[in-house]
Structure 1
Amino acid sequence: MLDTLPKTSPQRLRRLALIGAAGFVLILAAGTASRLMAGQDLKKTSQASAVTTVNVVQPGGGEDAALVLPGRLQPWAEAPVFARTDGYLRRWYVDIGQPVKAGQVLAEIDAPEVDQQLVAARAALATASAQRDLAATSAARWKRLVGENAVSQQEADERQGDLAAREAMRNEALANVRRLESLTAFKRIVAPFDGVVTSRDTDQGDLISAGGGRPSPLFTVSDTRRLRLYVSVPQSLAGQIRPGMTATFTTPELPDQTFPARLARSADAVDAQSGAMLVQLEVDNIGGQLKPGAYAQVSLNLKGATGAGTAAVRVPANALLFRKEGTAVAVVDRDNTVRVRPVRIARDYGADLELAGGVAASDWIVSSPPDAIANGDKVNPVRPKGGAGARG
């Protein structure tokens, strides 16, 4: 039976062994190559995950004429008219809203006490004038008698002194008469200039006390043909106010109409309480559409006033970095490298900030940058869909 089994030659055995060894080597090489490729993929994945992904936006153009501030319209000239004499209001002739001319009578005061004081003062003046005339006659007579050696020089000098005293008394009485005549003239309340009566705080029969510290005037007359528009400009923008600047404004009662204004002058000082500088603009109101005392929303034209010829741009407020060197933003360049640039805030709009210098409208700004972001960092920028990154 054993003689009938086939015999394997040594050459065949060696061949099978070589084939098995080659297969083992191939399997080992394939496993090693697979592990190398997996390691390289893992390295690439680790490197990719180490690059921070950031959202970027492009700045919007600064709105040079969009500095909107509240303002208050005031008449070009406004005069509260008070009484200058005591008495009772006999009659008033004008009411609120009526136009008046300079010197026009607004009301009349009945002042019998002043009238009687004037009568007494005139009588006192007549007495003082008679006494002065008598003293002048006596002085002239005694001067002549001195020349005839009929009286002494001392007596003549006394008469001359009495004349001087009587002259002074007459002048005093005359001044009192003129004072009371002026008070009598003040019984007629007149308009100080052409304008409109904007308030009347008296009525027929009211007791008028010139020296009683009356809290409000009898009338108020305002010249509304021109108006003054007062605006408080924040200290950060006070340096941008220039002579000849223009502005536009609207009012709540005429929301669809825009009115022009021109800078007349500024206070050139910052108020310690408000931290703002008062600016006065001139407004033409010939048509009478605008009302003094009204609120206005003023848009100051600060075009070209951001300084150094640099165009102002607007960025989201969350793009700012606060470093010990100052305020900055992170800009991503063409090779996705971060550049931290210092900036200066020109205006604060809340959600947006207007920057004067530091970045250009074509730059890509990192929005909500990580606190640890630094110069030279590589990032993966995510731009807005459609390539639109400009704001405003």
Structure 2
Amino acid sequence: MRTKQAKALSADHPLRRRGASVALSLVIILSGSVVLAQVLQQPVPARAPAAVVVAPVASVKLDTVTVQRGDIQDTIGAAGKLQLFQYADAYAQVAGQVKDVTVAVGDMVKANSLLVEISPTLQPAKVENNRAQMARMRAELADQRAQLDFAELQFKRQTQLKAQNATREDAFESSRMALSSARARVDAIDAQIHQLEATLKIEEENRQQTQVLAPIAGTVVSLNARVGQMVSTSQPAAPLMRIADLSKLTVAARVAENDVTRLRVGMQATFTTPGYPGRHWSGKLRQVLPVPAEGSAEHGKQTFYIVLFEVNNTNHDLMSGMSTQVQFVVAQAQNTLLLPVKALGAPDAAGAYSVNLVDGKQRFSSRKLKIGMRNAREVQVLSGLAEGDQVLVGPVPAPPAALPSKSIAAAP
């Protein structure tokens, strides 16, 4: 009977729709119960503040430098050349032909040692002729002196006779004139002899000057004399050779006009040369030439001035003509606080400098500095920093981007 009634119910019967709604409600209730049971089984977090923001902290690598103590120099750089400091040129003192050259370039010589021997163009026969003439004139002088003695004797006798009125007046005057003539002839011959002696002395000196001697002790650095070469003294000529003392050299540096005004005589100067990498030489500024260097200040070019100083070269390691890179020390300080220039940054509108210090927790603090001298690498710190301070290079980095935060309610 019930079966027949159930079959008789249609799909849209009210009783059928009500049963489906009840079944759906039971399913939802059961699902919620399962989820609630899972939540209740989870551990309860510890008590926390009302709201905590959790965000990862990124580790940022900072570029820093350390303030250290050291020495610093304010220098002016310039390029230069090594030159001879003391040298002397040897010239021919007599015209003639080079007979012998006893040295070569690079030889070391002592003062007054023989360098070149010259055969003079003056004929030896002329010298001998002058000497023979000198002998004849001396003989003639002896004869004239004998005649002078006789004339003096005659005049003395005539004077005595005249006092006794025993001679004639013309005889007395004749003896007086003879005495005067004899004296004049002796004086004339004596003058000729002196003149000839001077000529012979010059000729003898010229013969001695055929040997060219070293004017100073040193090294032969250039040689122009050749055997067979004709030399003359009547016109300017090239020296036979040049001798230089290489134990000391001169550095000639070209300094720009905007730097030369800061230089003073006595300043320390150091230099290097490509021939000896890593080695340094030093000296004291001797002179600043008051005229521009040759080739500068023309057609709008920058003006340079030559600055000179000497360097000891007892080992002869340095050679004339070597190029040098010079540093003139304008000022210097020792055991002072130093900061690398790259950490200094640019000054503010008032010309003051500020830097950022970094502590161990990577926190930043700004410091104003008072600086002193500086060079291309470092700057002297007079105040504002201490030894060991870590200074940030560049601007302070921006903080990392904030991640999404989670807010967890605190337990009651």
So what's the TM-score if we normalise by structure 1?
A: 0.58
Corresponding residue of 1:245: 267
Structure 1 residue 164 displacement after superposition: 2.2
Q: Which residue identity is paired with 1:180?
A: E
Pick from 239, 244, 249: which aligns with 1:227? 249
Relative to structure 1, the CA distance from residue 191 to residue 153 in structure 2 (aligned partners, 3 Å threshold; closer, same or farther) is: same
Structure 1 residue 121 displacement after superposition: 2.8
Question: What CA distance in whole angstroms lies between the structure 2 residues aligned with 1:251 and 1:332?
Answer: 38
Corresponding residue of 1:103: 112
The question of whether the paired residues in 2 share the 8 Å contact of 1:107 and 1:188 is answered with: yes
Gaps of 5+ in 1: 1-62, 306-313, 321-328, 335-345, 353-359, 363-382, 388-392
Corresponding residue of 2:44: none
Question: What CA distance in whole angstroms lies between the structure 2 residues aligned with 1:236 and 1:146?
Answer: 92
CA RMSD of aligned residues (A): 4.2
Matched ranges for 1:1-392 at <5 A: 64-111=73-120, 113-149=122-158, 151-214=174-237, 216-263=238-285, 265-266=286-287, 269-271=290-292, 278-303=306-331, 331=351, 384-386=394-396
Structure with larger Rg = 2
Q: Which residue identity is paired with 2:122?
A: E
The question of whether the paired residues in 2 share the 8 Å contact of 1:65 and 1:303 is answered with: yes
Question: What CA distance in whole angstroms lies between the structure 2 residues aligned with 1:361 and 1:89?
Answer: 74
Structure 1 residue 270 displacement after superposition: 4.2
Gaps of 5+ in 2: 1-71, 159-171, 297-302, 334-340, 355-372, 377-381, 385-392, 398-412
The question of whether the paired residues in 1 share the 8 Å contact of 2:105 and 2:220 is answered with: yes
For residue 254 of structure 1, give the secondary structure of its aligned residue in structure 2. Answer: coil
Relative to structure 1, the CA distance from residue 141 to residue 285 in structure 2 (aligned partners, 3 Å threshold; closer, same or farther) is: farther
Question: What CA distance in whole angstroms lies between the structure 1 residues aligned with 2:129 and 2:253?
Answer: 55
Q: Which moved more, 1:81-90 or 1:134-143?
A: 134-143
Relative to structure 1, the CA distance from residue 140 to residue 235 in structure 2 (aligned partners, 3 Å threshold; closer, same or farther) is: farther
Question: What CA distance in whole angstroms lies between the structure 2 residues aligned with 1:86 and 1:177?
Answer: 17
The question of whether the paired residues in 2 share the 8 Å contact of 1:115 and 1:184 is answered with: no
For residue 330 of structure 2, give the secondary structure of its aligned residue in structure 1. Answer: coil
Question: What CA distance in whole angstroms lies between the structure 2 residues aligned with 1:198 and 1:333?
Answer: 56
Structure 1 residue 234 displacement after superposition: 4.4
Q: Which residue identity is paired with 2:150?
A: R
Structure 1 residue 272 displacement after superposition: 8.8
Relative to structure 1, the CA distance from residue 272 to residue 74 in structure 2 (aligned partners, 3 Å threshold; closer, same or farther) is: closer
The question of whether the paired residues in 2 share the 8 Å contact of 1:249 and 1:299 is answered with: yes
For residue 204 of structure 2, give the secondary structure of its aligned residue in structure 1. Answer: helix
The question of whether the paired residues in 2 share the 8 Å contact of 1:76 and 1:225 is answered with: no
Question: What CA distance in whole angstroms lies between the structure 1 residues aligned with 2:274 and 2:262?
Answer: 27
Give aligned pairs, total: 276
So what's the TM-score if we normalise by structure 2?
A: 0.56
Q: Which moved more, 1:92-101 or 1:117-126?
A: 117-126
Corresponding residue of 2:62: none
Q: Which moved more, 1:90-99 or 1:138-147?
A: 138-147
The question of whether the paired residues in 2 share the 8 Å contact of 1:114 and 1:183 is answered with: no
Relative to structure 1, the CA distance from residue 179 to residue 330 in structure 2 (aligned partners, 3 Å threshold; closer, same or farther) is: same
The question of whether the paired residues in 2 share the 8 Å contact of 1:72 and 1:231 is answered with: yes
Question: What CA distance in whole angstroms lies between the structure 2 residues aligned with 1:292 and 1:208?
Answer: 28
For residue 182 of structure 2, give the secondary structure of its aligned residue in structure 1. Answer: helix
Deviations for 1:184-208, whole angstroms, at most 9, x for unmatched residues? Answer: 1111121111100111112222222
Structure 1 residue 114 displacement after superposition: 4.4
Q: Which residue identity is paired with 1:196?
A: T
Relative to structure 1, the CA distance from residue 96 to residue 140 in structure 2 (aligned partners, 3 Å threshold; closer, same or farther) is: same
Structure 1 residue 161 displacement after superposition: 2.5
For residue 331 of structure 2, give the secondary structure of its aligned residue in structure 1. Answer: coil
